[in-house]
Every structure is written in C-alpha cells, then in structure tokens.
Amino acid sequence: MPGPAIRTDVVDVYVFRRRAQGPGVAGGVEFLQLRRVEEPAAGTWQPVMGHIEADEAPTRAAVRELGEEIGLRPGMPGWLGLWALQEVRPYYLASANALMMSVCFALEVDEEFEPHAGPEHNDHRWVWSSEAERAFLWLSQRAACEEILREIVPPDSAVRDLLRVG
C-alpha cells in the first residue's frame, strides 16, 4: 500500500482584530473562529479554511474564501491588511489518507468588524489571544496564532512589511 498522498490545495486564514478593551481585559488581540456545519470536523471551531481551485494562487484563494465565508473583500470597510505567514502548516487527514500542506494567511480587521457567515458555518466567536491555546483544536492552528502575535501584530516586526500581500 502506498503512503499518503501529499496535497497542497488548502488555505487557512486567521482573522484577527485588536481590541482596546473587553470584559475583564485591558485590551489585546482576538482571533475569529467559525463553527463548521459539515464534515470533516462538523461542530468544531475553525479559522477561515478552504481549497485552492485549479490555476488559482494561494493568495487569491485566501481572498475568495474570505469573501465566501465571512463576507469581506479587499477595499471593504473593516479590511486592514492581509499577510502570508512564513510557515506552511502540515497535518495528516486520515479520512483522505493525505498529508495536507496548508498555506496560511493572517487578515487584520478593524475592532468593530463582525462576519457574515456563509452556509458552511452556523456561528462565530472571537477568542482572546490568551485563550487561543485552548480554543484552537490543532497544534498547527495554535502555532499560526503564535506566529501572528510574534511576526504580524508588532508594528516594529522585521518581517511584517515583507509578508504583507494585501
């Protein structure tokens, strides 16, 4: 039996916003999670996720998925910037016997932005960065949140401007 297939047709977009204050919190960063309706992983909280279509670049796929899943496109109120994360996040999907290589992005939205969920999701929530370790299921998702907090959020980051794609 051959080993798993290697698939590189997946994008994840971690939507975040900076909040001046929150309940019992002096301020910080929140990450958006969407609750999936269908399998795989129905009922779980996930970032914006999707497949790259034929002849579509990962950045274009990320922008398309943002429009489909949360109703936000470049130039619309709320869109503050899109960054490509440095690390591709691998994970094994047993149901497809595939090693998935997910290209990851970070989208910053303004403090008041609220998503308009598409049909793939039935709810959303914002999770403080201090709770990301418990709120995100997968190690690769938690690592993406850590990369955003380390490389994208600080205005003096050495790579922030280099990683910006929109």
Quick: pLDDT tens for 86-138.
988 888 888 889 998 999 999 999 999 999 978 888 999 999 999 999 999 88
State residue 117's pLDDT score.
78
State residue 22's pLDDT score.
60
CA dihedral for 48, 157, 130, 138, sign (positive or negative): positive
CA–CA separation, 18 vs 72, rounded Å? Answer: 17
pLDDT category of residue 23 using cuts at 50, 70 and 90: low
pLDDT exceeds 90 at position 148: yes
* 41-56 core/surface letters (b: 16 or more CB in 10 A; e: else): eeeebbbbbbebeeee
| Average confidence score pLDDT of the chain | 92
pLDDT tens digit sequence for 50-63: 999 999 999 999 99
| pTM score | 0.92
CATH 3.30.70.1060 fits domain 5-163: no
